[in-house]
Amino acid sequence: MLDKNSIQTFLEKDIHSIFISLIQGGCSGTKVSVQTEFDRTGLVSSPITPELTVFYRSEEQKLLEQWHITFAKGKWIFSSEKIQDRCGCGESFSFEKKLIDTDKLTKLQSIFGKKKGLHE
């Protein structure tokens, strides 16, 4: 579901259809994209309100179930119980829990060593 303020803004601008997609980007790997000009060929549609319809790719349907999108501080924030990881600013997310790459951590420690700081 789209937040009420965004729905109202789209309708005030006489926009009655939007395209929501998941794109690669950000710290956690995935961002949501909301477009108002798009080719509808091959897309699935679902009404948000009687005046506003959302379009999306059929392969993203399962990921977009029980979703909520809010426009805050100049960016779209996607929320879903399917999200397992999120970046610090909240814009990007992942559907998989990110694990710390211990090999990379060990490699960095060997490169930089455990040097004593100024306060030790």
Place of tokens 């909520």: 68
Helical H segments across 3-118, by residue range: 4-12, 102-112
CATH, range 4-112: 2.60.300.12
Q: What's the confidence (pLDDT) of residue 34? A: 92
Residues 77/69, Cβ–Cβ less than 8 Å = yes
Total H helices, total E strands in the chain: 2, 8
Nearest CA-CA partner of 27 in 70, 118, 88:
88
- pLDDT bin (cut points 50, 70, 90) of residue 106 is confident
Lowest mean pLDDT among 18-22, 70-74, 81-85, 88-92: 88-92
pTM for this predicted structure? 0.71
